[in-house]
Amino acid sequence: MQTGVQHTIGNVVRTLKNPRDLKEKVIQTILLLLATIAVFVIILITFFIFKNGFPIFKEHGFWNVIAGQIWNPTKSVFGFLPMIVGTFYVTFVALIIGIPFGLATAIFLAELSSSRMQKIIRPAIELLAGIPSVIHGLFGMVVINEVMRYIQRNYLGGILPPEYQWGYSVLSGGIILAIMILPTLINISEDSIRAVPKSYKQGALALGSTHIQTIFRVIIPAAKSGITSAVILSMGRALGETMAVIMVVGNMPMLPEHPLYSIFAPISTLTATIAMEMGYAGPEHRQALFALGIVLFCIVALLNTFAIIIRRGARADA
């Protein structure tokens, strides 16, 4: 112990005496501080979201807020259920539409395509990932919602209630989000399909399976954990997307009244409500929006932690 301390002191003294060593130490300390900024940022985010949003839970009761069905900020009624339901509904629709196409494209790239096809499709996916969400939103608002309105009025006009006939809907939001999560789905699934050892495929083919059988019975099951993490990451992306959703779902913070046709209902999500209302919110309303942020933050943090653990597990297996 004694010698350890003396040793350390000796090192410090020697370092201070030698300017070259001192400079090295200073630089190393600066780099260490820069590296820890990311940790501080996540701590600060958590702290500020909770500090600003928590009073709402305290004042109105946690379950009253989380399970409350009515959102009426001007009357100081803060029920989060419409936004929570809206967020998950849109995300669910996006996954239902996105997963088959994303997985199929990943299979195409990893197993069925020539390198010439890959040279066309890869850059397209990369570009798709780089398109800002407002562009997706604008496209959804003008094209998809227009088509949706046409279908709602001309083919379903007799069935749907009038408030479900103006295009802005869960389905539009789901379609746009499905497009937006495609790159994440495709890239991670493709990587995990490629990571399956060649011998699996060779074994299955040698036993007389067709290529398609091999893909669906051997390769996909072997790539399961990677595909799962692709789905979870895309889900996190869809839950947290703001701009594209805000421009197509109609931003009506209420539970759909007709559950049967609710896929055509205008709704609002956690993200859309925060972004729409932050501009004009009073003090208590603002706290409620931060509390919506807490809910979103917790859901997404949980999902991402899952995804990270699954991916690490997959890596450890390989």
Partner 1 sequence: MHNKQKILESLIKGFIWFSAIGTVMILLAIMGYIVIKGIGFVNFEFLTSTPKRMGAEGGIFPIIVGTFYFVTLTMAIATPIGVGAAIYLSEYTRDNLLTRTIRFTTELLAGVPSIIFGLFGYAFFVILLKEYTGGWSLISGALTATCMILPILIRASEEALKTVPKSYREGSFALGATKWQTVYKVVLPTAIPGILTGIILSIGRAVGETAALLLTLGGSLLLATSMYHGTRTLPMHLYMVAMETGNMDQAFATGVVLLFVLLFINLGAGYIVKKIFVKNI
| Residues between 194 and 233 with contacts to partner 1, criterion CB under 8 A | 210, 212-213, 216, 233
Our CA dihedral for 200, 203, 209, 211, rounded to 10 degrees, sits at 50
| DSSP for residue 74 | G
* Binding positions for partner 1, 146-175, rule CB under 8 A: none
CB of 239 to partner 1, least distance (A): 7
Q: Tell the smallest beta-carbon distance from residue 109 to partner 1 (Å).
A: 7
- Contacts (CB under 8 A) with partner 1, residues 62-121: 100-102, 104-105, 107-109, 112-113, 117, 120-121
For partner 1, the closer of residues 1 and 35 by Cβ is 35
> Which one among 146, 308, 315, 318 touches partner 1, defined by CB under 8 A?
308
Interface map 14-53 toward partner 1 (x if CB under 8 A): ------x--xx--xx-xxx-xxxxxx-xx-xx--xx-xx-
The piece of 77-85, 218-226, 258-266, 270-278 that touches partner 1 (CB under 8 A) is: 270-278
Cβ distance 284 to 76 under 8 Å?
yes
In the list 9, 13, 70, 124, the residue contacting partner 1 (rule: CB under 8 A) is: 124
Binding segment toward partner 1, per CB under 8 A, in 73-81, 191-199, 219-227, 303-311: 303-311
SS3 for 309?
Answer: helix
Judged by CB under 8 A, the residue of 65, 289, 310, 314 near partner 1 is: 289
d(CA 90, CA 157) in angstroms, rounded, equals 23
> What value does the CA radius of gyration of the chain take, rounded to a whole number of Å?
26
Least separation in angstroms between CB 261 and partner 1? 26
Tokens 């996540």 — which residue? 42
The token pair at 108 is 């195409």
Up-side HSE of residue 1: CA atoms within 13 Å toward CB?
Answer: 0
Q: Which is nearer to partner 1, 57 or 160 (CB)?
A: 57
How many residues touch partner 1 under the rule CB under 8 A: the total is: 86
Nearest in space to 283 (alpha carbons), one of 138, 78, 85: 78
Helix (H, G, I), strand (E, B) or coil at 48: helix
Task: With contacts defined by CB under 8 A, name the span among 67-75, 130-138, 194-202, 254-262 that binds partner 1.
Answer: 130-138
Residue with tokens 């094209």: 143
- Counting every residue written for the chain, the total comes to 318
* Orientation angle between helical segments 170-194 and 224-240, nearest 10 degrees: 150
Under the criterion CB under 8 A, does residue 310 sit at the interface with partner 1? no
